[in-house]
With several copies, the nearest count.
Chain A
């Protein structure tokens, strides 16, 4: 089944008439994602790849059933789009938009929390549950259906690592990007909890980077509560200097906090294997799963 989205997810696309929105709507439809409607204020009545467009989320929901939204609108309007989706009762919001001001993100997350909704992003490549639903901008050919869950703070690096996994025959259940901004809707800990509950997922890959302490918290969660499934981590930015934003708004070492070493140390203390190079992730995970199979004598359920 995977986490957060699956084959029964019905989604709307906010900002569907924009270049990005329109382009990726086609790719998501191609993947089989149920995109039931699009929203662009002022463009109601149009169609984009045969998806009807409405002026407002509320209007779209009067005609179509949906539970999820993916947002492509420009940064100055992204928070309002998320508020609109939340106000209309949607339960999962994927914000692809980059450059959303922190003050806006903080308010969106507060409202989502009040309403018990999940926000993925902003500044995320999105989420894909293999064979079920893609809500994002990731290329699909690198993925393979399987049982590894991936949570990542970085887009292309995820593709790099997913390619490695797929090549080694380690398919994926759900792969999602937390988002490259300082304030995003999901943390590694929350995703780990979901993956733990998900029957399809047999192992988890965490792809971290410098900035913040999401990795340290994940390590401490694993070490305190124990974790039923094997976890492998990779952390980018060992060579990043202090005080410089490395491409992502959130990838910055402030003073002495948020270094790759601190994150790697935390993972190792929690007995989470940390890969040295992206290509090592698949190798380590294959080894772990082989050992596990030997211990339990079972065959992997999916291949």
Chain B
């Protein structure tokens, strides 16, 4: 679960990490008041959960309270990468001497957390990695011993700091590690963490992504997933969340349903290979009941862009008869206005085939054959 910048900064601040003076606002008037309170030029930042917000015009600068009111009014009535801005963070402009990067994240291949830093902050870490890989510092965290003060100092030193600046910066890194661990973070990032012209360090921007699997024990965030992401989720995505379906919206016109993440991805790939364009990724998971199957079908059919639905089921734990029943259920409820291509093999295949065949719905054996057929229909239909 991604947190908004202002939420991440609240947490950092609670742990004693310096963040810019400022406030969250939802109206231009509040922006003016906040800027008046700050008594310095401000930066006005749209609170949206997308990368590259700055380039997309989501960050504006204002040298007076009046300008802050104007800028925030502009942002509050705009969309950033298609997402409506609902709140804005108004903060003091820092006098920046240097922008650094620091994050705690998961190192998959080393099966541990890793601290990543760079003296080239302010841009995406991948860009730093591409442009100046030698400027990326990585320190693996031993899960049994943790990230300790000397690790933090080692990084601060490699970033070019000595003496009390090294120690101050290291203390901030240690605090961020505590945030990451306490919040079960997948990524906890300060980018940039700024060295001000007075030589102090301030987390000018912050990102915090909580491990979804750990939300159950993060009482502060538990149950807020839908609410927080609400503004950016399509109705299908919301529906999928409620039904426990793994759904990702894509930009084509062939609706896809399958069981198993890898199989569904391979199904999308196959559609593409035959010249088609999938409208979504939808994994019903293992052992889906007829109800879940019906919900999935409903969901895909509710997407008006979809011209044809390709259902690809390879039954292992999932039983073909349950799938077949789910398809019929959905048919009875909403009727099918769009063509269906169904590939159904595996556990209880015979019974599943019988159910669908009796209902006049044909079934295919091969995934590739089915993909080709779906693409053909979509082209005709499209």
Direct contact of A and B (CB under 8 A): yes
Residues on A close to B: CB < 8 A? 41-45, 55-58, 75-77, 80-81, 83-84, 87, 99-103, 105-107, 109-111, 113-114, 125, 137-139, 142, 152-160, 163, 180, 182-185, 187, 207, 209-214, 217, 234, 236-241, 243-251, 254-257, 260, 276-279
Q: A56-B153, A103-B184, A277-B273 are in contact. Are A236 and B265 (CB under 8 A)?
A: yes
Tell me whether B262 and A155 are in contact (CB under 8 A): yes
Tell me whether A139 and B347 are in contact (CB under 8 A): yes
The answer to whether the Cβ of B53 comes within 8 Å of any Cβ in the partner chain is no
Q: A103-B181, A213-B108, A277-B273 are in contact. List 8 more A-B contacts (CB 8 A).
A: A44-B162, A83-B150, A110-B142, A183-B106, A240-B248, A244-B248, A247-B281, A251-B265
A210 CA / B217 CA spacing, docked (Å): 28
A87 CA / B145 CA spacing, docked (Å): 10
A276 CA / B266 CA spacing, docked (Å): 10
Tell me whether B266 and A278 are in contact (CB under 8 A): yes
Residues on B close to A: CB < 8 A? 51, 106, 108-109, 111-113, 124-126, 130, 142-145, 148-150, 153-154, 157, 162-164, 166-167, 170, 181, 184, 186, 211-214, 216-217, 246, 248, 250, 258-266, 268-273, 278, 281, 283, 285-286, 314-317, 345-347, 366-368
Q: From residue B302, how far is it (CB to closest CB) to chain A in Å?
A: 20
Q: A44-B162, A238-B272 are in contact. Are A139 and B316 (CB under 8 A)?
A: yes
Residue B108 contacts which of A81, A83, A111, A250 (CB distance < 8 angstroms)? A250
Residue B143 contacts which of A109, A250, A256 (CB distance < 8 angstroms)? A109
Tell me whether A255 and B125 are in contact (CB under 8 A): yes
Q: From residue A113, how far is it (CB to closest CB) to chain B in Å?
A: 8
When C-beta atoms are compared, the residue in chain A nearest to B212 turns out to be A249
Tell me whether B286 and A137 are in contact (CB under 8 A): yes
When C-beta atoms are compared, the residue in chain A nearest to B214 turns out to be A101
A208 CA / B283 CA spacing, docked (Å): 17
Q: From residue A115, how far is it (CB to closest CB) to chain B in Å?
A: 11
Residues of chain B with a CB closer than 8 A to A109's CB: 111-112, 143
A59 CA / B25 CA spacing, docked (Å): 48
Which of B184, B270, B278 has most chain A Cβ within 10 Å?
Answer: B270
Residues of chain B with a CB closer than 8 A to A213's CB: 108-109
Residue A156 contacts which of B108, B150, B260 (CB distance < 8 angstroms)? B260
Residue A182 contacts which of B106, B144, B265, B315 (CB distance < 8 angstroms)? B106
Residues of chain B with a CB closer than 8 A to A160's CB: 263, 266, 314, 367
Q: A239-B272, A256-B126 are in contact. Are A42 and B167 (CB under 8 A)?
A: yes
Tell me whether B262 and A103 are in contact (CB under 8 A): no
Residues of chain A with a CB closer than 8 A to B166's CB: 41-42, 55
Residue B213 contacts which of A80, A100, A187, A210 (CB distance < 8 angstroms)? A100
Tell me whether A156 and B263 are in contact (CB under 8 A): yes
Q: A41-B150, A139-B315, A255-B125 are in contact. Are A241 and B262 (CB under 8 A)?
A: no
Tell me whether A159 and B265 are in contact (CB under 8 A): no
When C-beta atoms are compared, the residue in chain B nearest to A27 turns out to be B317
Tell me whether B214 and A102 are in contact (CB under 8 A): yes
Tell me whether A159 and B346 are in contact (CB under 8 A): yes
Q: From residue B238, how far is it (CB to closest CB) to chain A in Å?
A: 15
Closest 4 CB pairs of A and B: A154-B262, A247-B261, A156-B260, A157-B262
A76 CA / B217 CA spacing, docked (Å): 9
A55 CA / B286 CA spacing, docked (Å): 28
Tell me whether B150 and A247 are in contact (CB under 8 A): no
A44 CA / B170 CA spacing, docked (Å): 15
Residues of chain B with a CB closer than 8 A to A56's CB: 150, 153-154, 157
Residues of chain A with a CB closer than 8 A to B270's CB: 277-278
When C-beta atoms are compared, the residue in chain A nearest to B183 turns out to be A103
Residues of chain B with a CB closer than 8 A to A251's CB: 261-262, 265
Tell me whether A246 and B314 are in contact (CB under 8 A): no
Name 6 interchain pairs, CB-CB below 8 A, sorted by A: A106-B113, A109-B112, A153-B262, A159-B314, A183-B108, A246-B246
Q: From residue A134, how far is it (CB to closest CB) to chain B in Å?
A: 12
When C-beta atoms are compared, the residue in chain A nearest to B112 turns out to be A106
Tell me whether A156 and B316 are in contact (CB under 8 A): yes
Residues of chain A with a CB closer than 8 A to B145's CB: 83, 87, 111
Q: From residue A75, how far is it (CB to closest CB) to chain B in Å?
A: 6
Residues of chain B with a CB closer than 8 A to A103's CB: 181, 184, 211, 214
Q: A157-B263, A212-B108, A257-B126 are in contact. Are A278 and B367 (CB under 8 A)?
A: yes
Residues of chain B with a CB closer than 8 A to A255's CB: 124-126
Residues of chain B with a CB closer than 8 A to A248's CB: 261-262
When C-beta atoms are compared, the residue in chain A nearest to B247 turns out to be A247
Q: A41-B167, A56-B154 are in contact. Are A157 and B106 (CB under 8 A)?
A: no
A257 CA / B136 CA spacing, docked (Å): 15
Residues of chain A with a CB closer than 8 A to B113's CB: 106
Q: A157-B262, A239-B268 are in contact. Are A55 and B162 (CB under 8 A)?
A: yes
Tell me whether A246 and B150 are in contact (CB under 8 A): no
Tell me whether B316 and A159 are in contact (CB under 8 A): yes
Tell me whether A154 and B314 are in contact (CB under 8 A): no
Tell me whether A245 and B106 are in contact (CB under 8 A): no
A134 CA / B315 CA spacing, docked (Å): 18
Tell me whether B112 and A80 are in contact (CB under 8 A): no
When C-beta atoms are compared, the residue in chain A nearest to B315 turns out to be A139
Residues of chain B with a CB closer than 8 A to A185's CB: 111
A69 CA / B16 CA spacing, docked (Å): 32
Q: From residue A258, how far is it (CB to closest CB) to chain B in Å?
A: 9
Residue A236 contacts which of B51, B262, B286 (CB distance < 8 angstroms)? B262
